[in-house]
Amino acid sequence: MKIEFAPIEIPTSGSLIIFLAEGDGLTEFAKSVDTFTEGAISRAIELNSYDAKLYSTLIIEAPHGLSLNRILLCGLGKASEFSILNIQRAGATALKALAHCKEESVDLAIESFSEMGMTDVNLALEIAYGLKLGSYKFSKYFTNEKNSVSSISINTANVLVNDHLDAQNIFSIRSEVAKGVNLARDLISEPGNVKYPEAIGRDIMNLQELGIDVKLLKKNELEKLGMGALLGVSQGSEKEPIVAIMHWKGNPNSSKETPVALVGKGVTFDTGGISLKPSGGMEEMKYDMAGAGAVIGTMRALAGRKAKCNVVGIVGLVENMPDGKAQRPGDVVTTMSGQTIEVINTDAEGRLVLADVLYYAQSKYSPSVIINLATLTGAVVVTLGSHMAGVFSNNQNLADNLINAGKYVGEDIWQLPLDVRYDKEINSAIADMKNVGKSREAGSIAGAQLLQRFVGNTPWAHIDIAGVAWMKGSENSIVPKGASGFGVKLLDRFVNENYEDL
């Protein structure tokens, strides 16, 4: 969606959205519109007992005295109880309330409220950000846009606000994060026959246009590095694996010389391999690269807004398929670190990919911290459902900073334990470790315990996003059904708060 900013004045056509706070009555602009309509807004509020509760909407069709098609009122709740997330979601809610109107553009009038503690410009920025996130749709494969699941036809939003030039300049930077989120959503939504390792590698190469240094390690180089665990996952597929490295050096003079390392699991399609998954729902396994998608989206966001930080993003891209060359349950693989893993279940493949990529990240870059994201386990879905991701860490300060960043942007994570008692459950009888623990117990912890063996003493956090990467229904107005893009906003905020020289 295209977002434009303009002075606040009554438009001459189309639909107008006015935001109200619960108990605050009409804003000054709303009063002027009400005067032109000879009290149409006031009458509609009274007749419908409209109280501007959070996310509530009221449509006034063909208002008298104006050439507008309609006026939409949208509630922000009590100004004294506002949150940035609620404002973003209110913007997207208002947009979706006009989905049936089949208009291509809409005007939104923005005025702050005395108890809100926000300027008009800041309120406008949050609403515009919500519009950018909430208007996302993946309709690439519809031959007729009208058949799309999303019926929103609006493609331009005119945000009407005082100091509109300041708002436009600031938002041009802010919107880069939304572009990163939506890039992640696009990559995750694509089917496996379109976005396989090499294809995603080409997408990553395009990030060079933003100033990111990109390097793709292909099969022969991975073999030389000794990435036996990652290569074992890919050996049943015709699609060759790739490890993609994206390095953003946004502040070469920074005192923070060692980079933040972001690592993502990128299984572009996961059949489970020889340990074949049930057929029901397997089509969704295109989202098993959501961890990689989040890392790619974050790197795009950081570069797009010219973040003053040193961050390297590394993603392991493989396809997990069953054929005559596929690895078997019982096989033993040797990782880049030299440690060996007995493969008990070929559907526990993400930790095999990450074992090599994590070791590569810590040995190659000596990063200040490593954060990996992965749709690693179904067990974390059983534990936390679709509302939170699980986080495991060997450093409490790192975990706390990630949790706080997640709360701020609405991507909640909940800390789960690491403990030597769980570590013993992945010890193998014939190798250094096995890739699963007890069959039905603490599966997400077992996965995290294995990953911990490949990061050395580096402060590290593993975020298991299996329950939040792909939404069965829309979580809220800025998170669509399907690919959520979870992790981009969280990581961008984390880097901004803790590793960016401002």
Residues marked as catalytic: 277, 351
User: Rounded distance, CA 271 to CA 326, Å?
Assistant: 11
Report the candidate in 180, 363, 357, 356 with the shortest Cα–Cα distance to residue 258: 363
Sequence-ordered list of residues with C-beta below 8 angstroms from that of 400, at least 6 positions apart, any chain: none
Sequence-ordered list of residues with C-beta below 8 angstroms from that of 367, at least 6 positions apart, any chain: 258, 259, 260, 261, 312, 361, 458
Sequence-ordered list of residues with C-beta below 8 angstroms from that of 219, at least 6 positions apart, any chain: 231, 234, 240, 241
Contact 45, 58 (CB under 8 A): yes
227 phi-psi bin (left φ>0, alpha ψ -120 to 50, beta other): beta
Phi, psi of 2 (to 5 degrees): -85, 125
Q: If you write DSSP's letter for every residue of 366-378 in order, what string do you get?
A: --SEEEEEE---S
DSSP 190: S
Tokens representing 435 are 């890739």
DSSP 476: B
